[in-house]
Amino acid sequence: MPQIDVHALSDRARFNGFHGTVLFWCALIIIFDGYDLAVAGIALPSIMKEMGVSPTNAGFMVSSALFGMMFGAIFMGTIADRIGRKWAIALCILLFSVFTAAAGLTTDPLGFSVTRFLAGLGIGGVMPNVVAQMTEYSPRKIRSTLVTLMFSGYSVGGMLAALLGKGLIESYGWQSVFFAAGLPVLLIPFILKSMPESMAFLVKHGRFDELKGIVQRLEPGYVPSAADQFALPHAQAAHGAPIGKLFQDGRGFSTVMFWVAFFMCLFMVYALSSWLAKLMAGAGYSLGSALTFVLVLNFGAMIGAIGGGWLADRFHIKHVLVAFYALATVSITLLGYKVPTEILYILVGLAGASTIGTQILTYAYVGQYYPMAVRSTGIGWASGVGRSGAILAPILIGALVSMALPLEQNFMAIAIPAVIAVIAVSLIDHRHAASAHH
């Protein structure tokens, strides 16, 4: 009776139209996700003016979505291992589309914060699931490249928010950029129809006919027979509580180091995406050119993510990450100093590549580190714990902006976490990674 190891099959498959479909949907979802997240930073100067809020309160308003993301990442990552990844993804899209649009209807800081919190549940919850989905269905040779390519959609979403924001806010007010975020809800039926379910989930629930159909599309050479038995490698089968599994088999210390790296990286990402436009406007740049910096930041992130993925498939992903975090330390620190505008654009691009781009690469590393059966849980917890860094950043930098400190001190505060991230990633023990056992 043939035993078919679905994990090995996925590892060895050649890239085909099926992989392209998974990549297309995952990237599109991440574009919406990136837009929803960037939209608050883009509209922040206008919201502060209209609602009359201080920088500190504005920091709390931006953080409410991130607070939701923390719960969303932990809850939806874990729930997907129970109800199936496809349905968890659809639920997240519904949450972030409806409630981001609803934020445009609010007129006070509290209403805005509540709707952003609820949208955050979906924004944070969808990430671990699409990363796990893309990791599971990518051929091993190009896995980092595909995951980072998918994730660069995040930067496309940020760029879309900056480009649309410029025109929409001036013509129709800040609310319009939030209303535009409601559109993805229309795609849910198509996603449910064409997105495959997780193979580990199907094996666990004995849905073998569905699995055979997926395996045939994944590996066109496979001919299904009634005698086929599907299995996960022994190391991939979950025993006990999934969260406990993250600390088994010598992975405990590295799990904590991933959490530290996520915390530090997300702190930098959200400090920059929430306050870059405002800090640059404060440094004397017009709103238009301050939004151009956001555009450059996200463009740099896209180059960094794709370039980082390409490097990670050729060199060790851990070493690539250490180099990227070191680059973040230097580029962000230099943003606070007076340099020619051309150099400033290059620095902003490098800061995007080494923070948002590196965050994407860190997701890819976590996805490869944990066994398939607890992958969503591993990514969800790292992402959820890291969210506390994201929550803290807008509030802390908002408080610094209120103090009217010199520009270089603001940027230095954003760069310190990069140093800590270098140390954390260096200490991850790769010998216990699932990818080290192939």
Percent pLDDT > 90 in the chain is: 14
- Measured CA to CA, the distance from residue 409 to residue 90 in angstroms comes to 42
Residue of 315, 378, 328 whose CA lies nearest to 135: 378
Q: Where are the domains of the chain?
A: 3-437
E strand intervals along 112-271:
229-231
Sequence-separated (6 or more) residues with CB below 8 Å from residue 273: 37, 38, 41, 158, 294, 297, 356
pLDDT at 438: 46
- Measured CA to CA, the distance from residue 308 to residue 354 in angstroms comes to 9
Residue 286 has pLDDT above 90, yes or no: no
Residue with tokens 């719960």: 71
Q: Residue 230 forms beta bridges with which residues? A: 4
CB-count exposure of residue 201 (10 Å: 0-12, 13-18, 19+): buried
SS3 content of the chain, % helix, strand, coil (to 5): 80, 0, 15
Residue of 133, 125, 62, 115 whose CA lies nearest to 93: 125
Q: Is 201 helix (H, G, I), strand (E, B) or coil?
A: helix
Q: How far is CA 161 from the centre of its chain?
A: 16
How does pLDDT run across 343-353, given as a tens digit for each residue?
A: 888 998 999 99
- Measured CA to CA, the distance from residue 126 to residue 255 in angstroms comes to 21
Band (240; pLDDT cuts 50, 70, 90):
very low
- Measured CA to CA, the distance from residue 267 to residue 264 in angstroms comes to 5
Q: Which of 144-148, 181-185, 364-368 reaches the highest mean pLDDT?
A: 181-185
pLDDT at 432: 66
- Measured CA to CA, the distance from residue 176 to residue 4 in angstroms comes to 51
Q: Is 4 helix (H, G, I), strand (E, B) or coil?
A: strand
Average pLDDT over residues 191-199: 85
Residue 320 has pLDDT above 50, yes or no: yes
Tokens standing for 148?
């980072």
Residue 396 has pLDDT above 70, yes or no: yes
Residue 63 has pLDDT above 60, yes or no: yes
pLDDT at 231: 65
CATH superfamily of 3-437: MFS general substrate transporter like domains (1.20.1250.20)
Per-residue buried b or exposed e for 263-278, using 16+ beta carbons within 10 Å of the residue's own CB: bbbbbbbbbbbbbbbb
pTM for this one? 0.75
Average pLDDT over residues 181-206: 84
Per-residue buried b or exposed e for 160-172, using 16+ beta carbons within 10 Å of the residue's own CB: bbbbbbbebbeee
Decide the pairing of beta strands 3-5 and 229-231.
parallel
Residue 317 has pLDDT above 80, yes or no: yes
Q: How far is CA 275 from the centre of its chain?
A: 19
Rounded mean pLDDT of the chain? 81
Residue 241 has pLDDT above 60, yes or no: no
Per-residue buried b or exposed e for 322-331, using 16+ beta carbons within 10 Å of the residue's own CB: bebbebbbeb
What is the chain's Cα-based Rg? 21
